[in-house]
Chain A
């Protein structure tokens, strides 16, 4: 098994607060790697360090053998590492369909392309792909609504669609089901399982243990900026250290 993403000795402090301390993590190709941990543990910060939103104080983030630190966010995106945000970062004034077309264009056009004289109407391939994914996400009947007016759960699914349409090598999911109704959560789990069968590598941050244990091959537990355990779901379930840090002793 080859390693897609390799995080080595990553540190990050905000003022006096150590948000990440000496993080080491290897993500294997085709696997779904879950990162769990209490609020404020540094999970989102870790993803931010991967996609160029934050620059770690120390350490390297190697993606397919190439160090991503210091690279522009758009270059990291084109390298194949795509993030789905925790708080929806959609284009509120555009329609749902347009929201998904944009990442589709990014994938095809690269960081800049002056296609000012081709008509949107002739972009059949990208539209078809977007419609397909919106169908999968159950958003097909909303495609002409403005994205800003959707419910929170629908925005999260749109976020996910925007990530998926880029067919990334590595998808970083930050709490993809937060704020979703049970029914939609199950639907999302099914979708993510299908994607897994197609071989896409994922990092998923989740609080919902049902989601984590249905999807993850490997789980890492983050607490106060440090990884305190990494293992299979069964190993993590039985690990007393994890129960201590994460749930104050309660059963997982």
Chain B
């Protein structure tokens, strides 16, 4: 029972991440009709926003290490600590949450620049060309990051206060053994929040209405004299921000390295396809569904029956969905269907 509960939690938490990454991808596909293979790189850039801020905040000066008395020892002490004492230490400790504030404008800018500079010239080109050029861009972006930050994963811890595990078993009356890392619970809540915000934005603002109408029937909206192109540029920016935020918050879970984007790219495409290309609700549903399936497939009881199933479950689901129901769980009929 406890094990099952933990698996569900684990699945939801994984699913939150999947859904969040796929959300931006499907948004961009649904509105712009562009297959963006650089989406994983946006996720990676988000994670490196957190790394960068942490690096900036911990820029240090060499100072005498007072704790060592028998010879002259030096240690690195961040300026922030020197200037602000304990408050400075706190800020460094909270660098990941703070970098959310940094990531939003940065990712928005990157997104807008990408759409303006590259993607918009590919609207009319075949999907194969879009895949190829964004694939090239993804390689370039990840190499830039590698040349700045090196090839090794960079630990980017969460604030101390949430570094440990939550006694959720005690909270829910399931026994002391049921514990779960705080940060992953926070990630789940965070992804829920971002998903909610994106939906609310599309549902309740005029901007969102136009975008939704444009997703449905671009031509007509264009004919009404509404500047769809311009709005879609912003949509791309939003997609980039969402991917970036997913990345920022993921940094404490998986120390970022330059190729994390590529690793998540395939996965996020699978989520999008299972949900239905261009369907936001589908992406969220598919994200959680695949998260749960992945989590259960990793249970030893299941693996004993179907060895290796945990390795392929996600792809297996994708294959079955595409073959049986190519429009995905919630996709509109006819979107790239055959």
Q: Do chains A and B touch in the complex (CB under 8 A)?
A: no
A residues near B (Cβ < 8 Å) are: none
Instruction: List chain B positions with a Cβ less than 8 A from chain A.
Output: none
